[in-house]
A and B are shown apart, each in its own frame.
Chain A
Amino acid sequence: MGMTMTQKILAYHAGLDNVSEGDLIEAGLDMVLGNDVTAPPAIDILNNMGGKVFDKDKVILVPDHFTPNKDIRSAELSKCMRCFAADNYIKHYYELGDEGHGIEHVIIPDNGLVFPGDAIIGADSHTCTYGAVGAFATGVGSTDLACAMASGKTWFKVPEAVKVVLKGKKNEYVTGKDIILHLIGLIGVDGALYRSIEFTGDGVHDLSMDDRLTICNMAIEAGGKNGIFPVDEVTLAYMDKVNPIRFTSGGYKAFVPDDDAVYSSTVEIDLSEVPLTVALPHLPSNTKRAEDVRDMKIDQVVIGSCTNGRISDIRMAASILKDRKVAHSVRCIIIPGSRKVYRTALEEGLISIFEKAGCVISTPTCGPCLGAHMGVLAGGERCVSTTNRNFVGRMGAKDSEVILSGVPVAASSAILGRVGTPKEVL
């Protein structure tokens, strides 16, 4: 029986010729990742085990959730990780202000740390982002991270896959975010539970790497174990850009699913029919056409996060906000996802556009996405956000509301003071 792309990567990393859905395997890992929330408990576990890091060059530690630290407790978490990184000579520890620092899922692909065919686990549910480059990447908890930091391996149950066939070309201002929200709206927040989401079809080639990163980022929001794109010319150009040394050396492997691979279900999406999409409170699957909910007034807009904090997102936001004003009743918070994104935005004059429009610009942080800091909502407030979750209390008070959207809808909504679309402001 044929294998899916994910199954082939898992078989390769387990040293097996073949795997089937349901097999329990142990796979070697190319990278293991933790952040300031999840790494400290893992470090405690590792220390209690008397374990050592299996490879100091294959552990990535990123302070991004509560940073710059919001209080003493969160500062202690960062300190724990910082000291551990120094004691263990962790190569890929990114301190605030380091050249490569930023939100983990923005910087890890951009710093060239993941390649096609790699297997990565991270103690963060959005680790699935890296499927965009044709890698297998999935989220785990702190104990799994601790054991993987010690052994360089972890166990997986081989998943079956949902096949998503993308066709056609998307309309102007429709982004990867609209596509993934649309998909989650179709299949539900458990529509891919325990399964891979494997994207394929001619429409793939029309999607930029940033679109793919956004789409795979939210595979978890459909319950997916991982999301994955085939490796094509867009992938190869991206790999060459972010890590020419590894790319030129050929130290990676592009896997292709077998023709007779079996999928649990197939979903077809005509990209030309994907509308500007929002997910209303309190589930990412509660999707509506943005233009159908234009009466929803808002108090805040957040543009950023591991889902939409890349330079293309920031450029898009600037193109809409240029020479316009954020509505008086709205706080618009722009969060470039990394130092590199921030600097590029500065050099291209985008920060100035935001400042003139009446936005506030934050240093890279996960902050408001998880209701941690830098934009927490009060009771009864509503935010249009380019983040990934709109659960009860996600961004603050339990009776606050988050509406998920792509950047064009978020930037337009900031100007309008309600949910809106670019055609209303441009």
Chain B
Amino acid sequence: MKVKGSVFKYGENIDTDVIIPARFLTTADPELLKIHCMEDLDGEFIKKVRPGDIIVAGKNFGCGSSREHAPVAIKASGISCVIAEDFARIFYRNSINMGLPILECKEAYEGIDNGDEVEVDFEEGLIIDKTKDLVFKAKPFPPFIQNIIDAGGLVEYTKGNR
């Protein structure tokens, strides 16, 4: 699978409170959550994001609360992939469970700029910056995690193992 889009670049320690503020957690409806995605950090995000676009960020992306609403809101906004130096562990699990593609790549964070056109090849684990003509290699998932992704998320994986 390949995805392609423009990059929204953010810094380090992007927490779940700015991804989707708790005041909006009275619903789990993706269509209602996405309206407020990144609202307190970047009010322009939801106006500008197009299907396929990509978030690139620094270390510890998704730190804070366990709210699954965070990857749900990002996915519903049209974001096709989040690339970060690394992820907070609950966000990492939630993204895999929700089917939001995430990749760890420090070099991509350092090399890619806001607004760059980027293509991601998940099979090869390649992140290609078309604007700068640069290629980065993402850290592959452990096989066990890949099995959950291949099963279509944890729900399907659990069904298959019962």
Contacts and interface: CB of A to CB of B under 8 A. Distances in A.
Interface of A: 24, 37-38, 40-41, 44-45, 48-49, 65-66, 70-71, 73-74, 77, 122-125, 127, 139-144, 146-147, 150-151, 155, 157, 189-190, 193-194, 220, 223, 225, 283, 370-372, 376, 389, 391-394, 398
Interface string B111-145: 00000000000000000000000000000001010
B144 A24 contact: yes
- Interface centre among A24, A139, A370, by most chain B C-beta atoms within 10 angstroms, is A370
B158 A123 contact: no
A393 B40 contact: yes
B64 interface: yes
Contact of B89 (A74, A225, A392): A225
A389 B64 contact: yes
Interface string B86-107: 1011100110011000000000
B41 to A, nearest CB: 7
A278 to B, nearest CB: 19
A190 B66 contact: no
B65 A125 contact: yes
Interface stretch (B11-19, B48-56, B75-83): B11-19
B34 to A, nearest CB: 15
13 contacts: A24-B142, A37-B67, A70-B26, A71-B26, A143-B153, A143-B155, A146-B155, A157-B142, A190-B86, A193-B89, A371-B17, A371-B21, A394-B22
A193 B144 contact: no
A141 B97 contact: yes
Contacts of A143: 68, 94, 97-98, 153-155
A391 B15 contact: yes
Contacts of A225: 89
Contacts of B41: 392
B66 A141 contact: yes
A51 B26 CA distance: 24
Contacts of B158: 49, 147, 150-151
A19 to B, nearest CB: 14
Contacts of B64: 125, 220, 389, 391
- Interface centre among B15, B17, B88, by most chain A C-beta atoms within 10 angstroms, is B17
A124 B39 CA distance: 22
Interface string B1-35: 00000000000010101100111011110000000
A140 B39 CA distance: 24
B27 to A, nearest CB: 6
B90 A394 contact: no
Contacts of A155: 144
B19 to A, nearest CB: 10
A393 B18 contact: yes
A8 B27 CA distance: 39
B22 A141 contact: no
B37 to A, nearest CB: 13
A392 B40 contact: yes
Given A77-B26, A392-B17, A393-B18, A189 B68 contact: no
- Interface centre among A44, A283, A376, by most chain B C-beta atoms within 10 angstroms, is A283
Contacts of A370: 17, 22-23, 65
A124 B154 CA distance: 18
A157 B22 CA distance: 28
Contact of A141 (B23, B90, B162): B90
Contacts of B98: 141, 143
Contacts of A391: 15, 17-18, 64
- Interface centre among B18, B59, B68, B88, by most chain A C-beta atoms within 10 angstroms, is B68
A189 B15 CA distance: 11
Contact of A140 (B22, B40, B93): B93
Contacts of A398: 39-40
